[in-house]
Structure formats: C-alpha cells, structure tokens
Structure 1
Amino acid sequence: MIVAGLGFSSTATADSLRAAFDKACCGHTVDALATVLDKTGHAALVEFVATTALPLHFVAPEDLAAQHTLTCSPRSRAAYGTGSVAEASAIATAGSGARLLSPRQISDDRLATCAVAIGGQT
C-alpha cells in the first residue's frame, strides 16, 4: 500500500494540503491518506479528503514517535516526539517494512507537509 502522510498547522487550508500532496506525490499513485489522530475533524482536512476520494487513516500520537523519519521539524519533535508528522504517519500506516518514497514536502505557504511511504509487503 502507498500512503501519503499529512502534517499541518491549525491555520492550514485545503489548498495548503493540496499543494504539499501534489509536491510529494509526483508520479506516485496513492492508495490512502494518513495523519495524526488529533487532527480529526479539522475543516481543511475534511475538505481536502473529500476531493481525493481516498480513505483516511489516523495514527495515535504515541505511535508517531516509534517511526524513523528522514527530516526533522522542531515543532513536530516538540509536539509529537517525531521529526515529521507527515513521514511518521505515512510509514506507520503503510505497514510492515514501510519505507519513504518521498520525504516530507512543504506547501509554499509552509502550513502543510506531505510524505509518501510504501509498505514492504506490496
């Protein structure tokens, strides 16, 4: 399974998410989206997901810290114990043996990030 993980600030818009998604997913066919559980119901996320028709998976915050990420945001490290919510969400959801196809990409407005991971069992 190929998963696009999303990280974003409370002020992000659906356009912010789309921009990060488009940068990270270039050339990859994504099967699902993932983000941290405490983003459930965020208006921008709901709007963005509706435009993709992809299933959305939520990752518990404590499961993010267990994932090795290639990039490191001080904000993500402080809030969730991981270098990248986008990368950790993608890896955690993609499954056993997952690896990144695209590290964290940042929207031009710097309000959203996206990374793409593929599970080792695909």
Structure 2
Amino acid sequence: MIAAGFGFRADATAESLADALDRAGGAAGVDVLATAGDKASAPVFQNFARRLGLPVLAIDAASLMAQQTTTRSPASLAARQTGSLAEAAALAAAGPGARLVATRRISGNGMATCALARGRDA
C-alpha cells in the first residue's frame, strides 16, 4: 500500500494539493490520502480525494506524534509536535514498518505539503 500524506493551510486550494502530490511523485500507485484528523474533513481535501477517486484516512494526533519524520518544519513542530505532518500522516496511514518513498515536498505556492510512504505489504 502506498499512502500520500498531506499537510495544508486553511486557504490551500485543490491546485496546491495537486502540485504537492505531483512534486512528491504523483498519484500513480497511491491507494489512500491521509492527513491530521482535524484536517481530513476540510472540503478542499475531500473534493481533491473524490477527484482522484481515493479514500481519506484521518490520523489522530498520537499516531502522528509517534512517527519518525525525515524533515523538520518549525511550524509543524509547533502546531503538531511532529517534524512533518505530511510525512507523519503518510507513515501512519501506510502502517507498521512503513518507509518513506518521497519526503515532504512543498507546493509551489507554499500552501500544501505531501509525502509518500510504502507499507510493508506493498
């Protein structure tokens, strides 16, 4: 399984999300989109997932904080107590033993981030 993890600002657009995903490697092979529980129901994220035909996983705060991320964003550390929301969401969604196949990539407008993780079964 390949999970695409996202972090995004409240005023991010679908284009921001798509650009971050493209910079991380694209949607080919991605099985699920994941983000923090409080962001998962954001209309822009739900609409983006529908457009891709992919399910959304809402990741709880404890699971996000338990992940070891490669990159470290001061904003993510302050807000989420994790180095990268995108990386942590991807790793948590892909399951135990998952590994990053694309570290956090930032959309051109700086409004969204995306990382990809592959589960052990993939």
Q: TM-score range by the shorter chain?
A: over 0.9
Matching residue of 1:24: 24
How far residue 104 of structure 1 moved from its aligned partner, in angstroms, is 0.3
Matching residue of 2:103: 103
- Gapped runs of 5+ residues in structure 1? none
2:38 is paired with a residue of what secondary structure? Answer: helix
Two-structure CA RMSD over aligned residues (Å): 1.3
Amino acid corresponding to residue 111 of structure 1 in structure 2: M
- Name the TM-score, length of structure 1 as normaliser: 0.94
Matching residue of 1:76: 76
- Gapped runs of 5+ residues in structure 2? none
Q: Does 1:60 align with 2:60?
A: yes
Question: Mean alpha-carbon deviation: is it higher for 18-27 or for 96-105?
Answer: 18-27
Aligned length: 122
State the distance in 2 between where 1:91 and 1:38 align. Answer: 17
Q: Does 1:49 align with 2:11?
A: no
% of aligned pairs identical?
A: 47
1:47 is paired with a residue of what secondary structure? Answer: helix
Query: Which aligned runs of 4 or more in structure 1 are off by greater than 2 angstroms?
Result: 25-28
